[in-house]
Amino acid sequence: MDDRELQLLTESISRDSFGRPFRHRVYFNPRLRTTGGRYRLHDHDIEINPEAYRKYGMDELVGIIKHELCHYHLHIEGKGYQHRDRDFRELLRQTGAPRHCSVIREPARRKARHLYRCADCGQSYMRKIRMNTDRYRCGKCQGRILKVEES
């Protein structure tokens, strides 16, 4: 699917599900990482994550488009368009749009690299940043903490 087909699909969904025309642009944005789509307030365009379409197919894409069209139409009308607004939640329900999209990509997390253990009770502590063991004691038994390994 290319941007032109996406535009036609969005215009069709807007007419059929909302009874209103979509008069702005919709396009795939490969820079989106963790969200299925984004409605841009300043120019009323909608960006769609192409990974969501590749990973989950047409049903997920239609759901994302409906969700973003809810933002679009409510913002154009001057009503509550944010996720927390009652107008938004009601329009989601009326159109069958999902509140959230499926997980596209997990956000990157730093792994804990330093393992410490209490010399007395054996309590383990994982840390991302190295710590000075002379300054800290075990929170469980107040024993000495020793560095075990670094990965």
Any idea which residues carry the catalytic annotation? 68
Q: What backbone phi and psi angles, to 5 degrees, belong to 38?
A: -150, 130
Tokens found for residue 74: 């409510």
Sequence length of the chain is 151
Burial readout 57-73 (b: 16 or more C-beta within 10 A, e: otherwise):
eeebbbbbbbbbbbbbb
In angstroms, rounded to a whole number, what is the distance separating the alpha carbons of residues 44 and 53? 21
- Give the residue from 93, 37, 89 showing the smallest Cα distance to 68: 37
